[in-house]
Amino acid sequence: MCCEDGTVLVDKWGNEGHIVKLKEDEEFEWSEEIVYTEAGPTRSMAPRPKKTTLELPLPEIKGDSSDYYRNIFAVLEGKESLIVTKEQALRLMKVIDTMHESAELRYGVKCYL
């Protein structure tokens, strides 16, 4: 998933993957490295120099999905406020729908939030 502040690669749903962000304080210069593609050699498809990126682990998410349903029950009893708002749920649904559309079309699709 490409985002404004970086890219997220999720390999599996067990929190495997990483985040790649640009280092803001690093001077950027393209190298003269030649990359070989199916179409032949190219310099335009060369990867960014490693020193200009930062690779971070995915954040650890601790929680129990049952907490969500306990919260719904407490909200219905008037004891708590929603921990997941309808705006947050709609935002997530838009992201999921866009992911499915992108997979079906087999190319990137912009998600309008």
The 10s digit of each residue's pLDDT in 53-110 is 889 998 888 878 899 999 999 999 999 999 999 999 999 999 999 989 999 999 989 9
pLDDT of residue 57: 92
- Segment holding 18, helix H or strand E: strand 16-22
Secondary structure of 31-71 in HEC code, one letter for each residue: CCCCEEECCEEECCCCCCCHHHEEEEECCCCCCCCHHHHHH
Residue 83 is classified by DSSP as S
Reference 113, options 60, 14, 97; nearest CA is 97
**Is 72 buried (19+), middle (13-18) or exposed (0-12) by CB count in 10 A?**
middle
pLDDT of residue 62: 81
Please give the Cα distance from 100 to 37 (Å, whole number): 28
Query: Which of the two residues, 52 and 93, has the higher pLDDT score?
Result: 93
pLDDT of residue 47: 63
pLDDT of residue 1: 77
pLDDT of 26 over the 90 cut: no
pLDDT of 49 over the 90 cut: no
